Amino acid sequence: MDEWANKQVHLACGNTDMRKSIDGLAVLVKEAFQLDPFSPCLFAFCNRQRNKLKILQWDHNGFWLFYRRLERGKFDWPSQTGDAVSISYREFRWLLDGLSLVQRQAHQAVLARTIL
């Protein structure tokens, strides 16, 4: 099972300056979005061309900074500038795969925990 499967993901809508480092992104999370960069969440940022991502994650005693660049194509990134939106890791995987956050044919999560 993927270790991130149950993590919440926060997207910085619109575009982010990809020159920002760990400290700059952590300040953006804290001050612009009023979120805790030390929480067990992923914080994702996208550039203006929608072909590069940075993902910030706190882990035990330090930050991870993941960087991804698409050689072709673009991410279907939310564009409302200045906002952060919370999504599930599953929805984040859709974005990474080039899909929209809204998947009409995706199976709905089953919340019931009983056996029939």
- The 10s digit of each residue's pLDDT in 97-114 is 888 877 677 667 777 777
What is the CA 39 to chain-centroid distance, rounded? 14
Range of the domain at 19: 8-96
Kindly state whether residue 92 falls inside one of the protein's structural domains: yes
Lowest mean pLDDT among 40-44, 74-78, 109-113: 109-113
The winner for highest mean pLDDT among 2-6, 59-63, 91-95 is 59-63
Q: Which residues, at least 6 apart from 17, have a Cβ–Cβ distance to it below 8 Å? A: 24, 47
Kindly state whether residue 80 falls inside one of the protein's structural domains: yes
Residue 1 has pLDDT above 60, yes or no: no
Kindly state whether residue 18 falls inside one of the protein's structural domains: yes
pLDDT band at residue 3 under the 50/70/90 scheme? low
Number of domains in the chain: 1
Kindly state whether residue 63 falls inside one of the protein's structural domains: yes
User: End-to-end distance of the chain based on CA atoms, in angstroms?
Assistant: 25
